[in-house]
Structure 1
Amino acid sequence: MSDQSTERNSNRKFLVVGLILVLLSINGILFYMQHQTKQKIDQQEETIRLKNTELEDRIKQYETLKADFERQNQELQAMGLSNDSLQAKMVSLEADLKKLRSFRNGSFSIADQKKFKERAANFEIQLKKKDEEIARLKEDNEVLYGENNTLKTRQNQLSDTITTVRRTNQVLSEKVALASRLEAQYIKVTTINQKGKEREDSDEEFRAKRVDKIKVAFRLAKNEVAEKENKEIMMRLIEPDGAALYNLAMGSGTFAVNGQETFYTAKRDILFDNSGQEVSFVYAKGAEYKRGQHIIELYAEGHLIGKTTFTLK
C-alpha cells in the first residue's frame, strides 16, 4: 500500500514537471513569436520611415532643381536670350514634383525611388552644363560690353572732334562770309534836272522841284576774299516819311535782308572784278520828290554795303 502511494506521488511529480516544461516551452515559443513579430513591425516601420525620408528628400531635390532652372531662365532673359529647352525642363520638373507629392498618399516603391533618383541626377548634369554655358555667355557679354564702351568712347570723341571741326568751319565760314562782303566807298549823290544837267551842291541840299532824276555813284572796294563773279546790287531810296520808293515799272522789287522780305528801289547786275570798279544808279521817280532828308542804302548778297543821305528843299 505504501509502495503504491509512493508511486502515485512520483507520477504526479513527473506530470507536474512535464506540465511546467510544456508551459515553459509554450511561453518560450510565444515570446519568440512575439519578438519576431515586433522585429518585423519595427523593420516595416523603419522601411516606411526610410521611404518617407527618401520621398521628402527627393521632393526637396526636385524643388531645388526647378528653382535653379528658373534662375537660369531669368539670367538668360536678362542677357536678352531665351531657351525653349529650359521651359520644357521646368514643365517636366513640375510634372515630376506633382507625381512625387502624390506618393505621400500612396506607396513609394523601390522602382519609383530608383527612377526619380536617376532622373534627378540627369537634371543635375544638365543644370551644371547650362550653368557653365551661362558663365561663358556672361564672360563674352562682359568682353562685348567693354568693347562697346570703348567704341562708344571713341565714337563720342570722334563726334566731339567732328562737332569742334564743324564749329571751327562754321566760324571760319562766317569770317570768310564777313570778309567777302562788298563795300561801297565814296558814295556821291547828284541830281539831274529835266535838261539832263547834273548838280552837286556842297551842302548836299537840292531843290526838290528842279529834280528829275537822282544819280547815286560809288566805288566797290577791292576785296581779295570776295569771288569774282556776277553780283546783284540793290539800292533803296528812302523818302523822309520812312518809305522806300517802289515802282515795278521802274525796276523795283523785293529781296531778303536778315530773313525778311524788303523792298528795293532799283537793282544793278554787275561782274565784280576786284578792280575798284565804279557803279552808279540813275533813278527817275516820275513825280515830284518830297522835301526833306532822303536815305540811300546799298545792298549786295543780302547785306548792307553802304549808306548815305541827301536833302531836298
Structure 2
Amino acid sequence: MSVNSPENRNNRKLLIVGLIVILSSINGILIYMNYQKKEKTEEQAEIIKVKNSELENQIKVYEALKADFERQSQELQAMGLENDSLEAKIAAISSDLSELRGFRKSSYTLSDQRRFRDRAKAFEVQLKQKDDEIAKLKADNEVLFTENTELKEKQNKLADSLTTFKTATRDLSDKVRVAARLEAQNISVNIINERGKTKDDNDNEFRAKRVDKIRVAFQLAKNEVSTKEPKSVYLRMIEPDGAALYNLSTGSGSFQVEGEDMYYTAKRDFVFDNTQQQLNFVYDKNAAYKKGLHTVELYADGFLIGKTSFTLK
C-alpha cells in the first residue's frame, strides 16, 4: 500500500486535528489555572491590604486612647489629685500598642482584630466615665472656688471693719485720754530761806543767796472725764543752762512723755478726787542755786499739765 494513500492522509489529518484539540484543551486549562492563580493572588493581596489598613487604624485608635487617658491624668494632677487606676490603664494601653506595632502584616488575624477592637471599646467606655467624673470634679471645684472667694471677700470686709473699729476705738481712746488730762492752775513759786521763812514775790524774782528750798504750789482743775484714782505728778525744774535739776538722793528719776524718757526733779503721788485739790512740792537742792531764769514744768499721765518760771538774781 502506498504511504501517501488517501487512507493514510486521512489518518494524519485526524491525528493532527486531535493534537490540535488536545493542545487547545491544555492551553485552555492552563489559561484557566493562571486566571485562578491570579485571582487568588489578588484576593490575598487585598486581604493583606485590608489587614494592614485595619492594623494601622487600630494603632491610631490606641494612640488616641493613650493620649486621652494621659490628658485625664494631667487634669487630675492639676486639681491636686492622683489616680492609680488611670496610670494602670495607660500602662495597659502602652502594652497593647507595643503588641500591635509588633505584628507583621500577614500575622494580624481576624481573632486579633476582634480582641483589640473589644478592648478598645472597653477603654472608650472607661474614658467616657472618667471624663464625666472629671467634669463633675471641675464643677464642684468651681463652686468651692466661688465659695472660697466669697468667704475671703467677707473676711477682708470683716478685717477692714475690724481695722476701722480699732482705729475708731483708738481715736476715741486718744480723745478720752486728752480730755482726761489734768490741768495745774494757780501755780505759785516761793522760796524758803535757811531760817525756814517763806518769801513770796509777785514778779517771781528772788535773790539766789537767800534760797535754801523752793516751794511750788498749784491747784488741780475740775475734770469730769479723768478717773478718780491714784496718780503721780512730776516736777521738772530746769536751770538757766537748760538742764533739769536731777539728784537721785533727793528723789529724782525718769519718766516717759510720748514714748521718750525725760528726767524729773521730784515726784508726788496723790489720789485724784476731782475736788480741785491743792498740791505742792518743796525742793531742797542741798547746793547753791544758779542765777538766772528757772523754768518749772508739771507733768501727769504723760502730759504737760502746767508751766511757770522764776528768776534768781
Amino acid at match of 1:47: I
**In structure 2, how many angstroms separate the alpha carbons of the residues matched to 1:171 and 1:188?**
35
1:17 is the counterpart of 2:29: no
Match of 1:117 in 2: 117
Question: Structure 2 matches for 1:174-185, cutoff 5 A?
Answer: 174-185=174-185
Match of 1:225 in 2: 225
1:299 is the counterpart of 2:296: no
Match of 1:143 in 2: 143
Question: Structure 2 matches for 1:1-313, cutoff 5 A?
Answer: 5-104=5-104, 107-313=107-313
TM-score, structure 2 normalization: 0.96
Return the offset for 1:187: 0.9
**In structure 2, how many angstroms separate the alpha carbons of the residues matched to 1:138 and 1:167?**
42
TM-score, structure 1 normalization: 0.96
**In structure 2, how many angstroms separate the alpha carbons of the residues matched to 1:60 and 1:270?**
97
Give the 3-state SS of the residue equivalent to 1:150 in structure 2: helix
Return the offset for 1:290: 0.8
Q: Deviations over 1:52-97 (max 9, x none)?
A: 1111101111111111011111111121211111112112211211
Give the 3-state SS of the residue equivalent to 2:242 in structure 1: coil
Return the offset for 1:118: 1.3
Structure 2, gaps ≥5 residues long: none
Amino acid at match of 1:103: F
**In structure 2, how many angstroms separate the alpha carbons of the residues matched to 1:295 and 1:122?**
100
Query: 1:214/1:48 Cα in 2 relative to 1: closer, same or farther (>3 Å)?
Result: same
Give the 3-state SS of the residue equivalent to 2:309 in structure 1: strand
Return the offset for 1:260: 2.2
Query: 1:106/1:229 Cα in 2 relative to 1: closer, same or farther (>3 Å)?
Result: farther
Give the 3-state SS of the residue equivalent to 2:85 in structure 1: helix
Give the 3-state SS of the residue equivalent to 2:5 in structure 1: helix
Give the 3-state SS of the residue equivalent to 1:191 in structure 2: strand
Return the offset for 1:106: 6.5
Question: 6-15 or 77-86: which moved more?
Answer: 6-15
Q: Deviations over 1:122-166 (max 9, x none)?
A: 111111100000111111111111111111221111111111111
Query: 1:264/1:44 Cα in 2 relative to 1: closer, same or farther (>3 Å)?
Result: same
Amino acid at match of 1:189: V
Identity of aligned residues (%): 60
Question: 103-112 or 169-178: which moved more?
Answer: 103-112
Structure 1, gaps ≥5 residues long: none
Query: 1:36/1:105 Cα in 2 relative to 1: closer, same or farther (>3 Å)?
Result: closer
Query: 1:106/1:200 Cα in 2 relative to 1: closer, same or farther (>3 Å)?
Result: farther
**In structure 2, how many angstroms separate the alpha carbons of the residues matched to 1:254 and 1:20?**
148
**In structure 2, how many angstroms separate the alpha carbons of the residues matched to 1:27 and 1:179?**
135
Return the offset for 1:227: 0.7
**In structure 2, how many angstroms separate the alpha carbons of the residues matched to 1:31 and 1:51?**
30
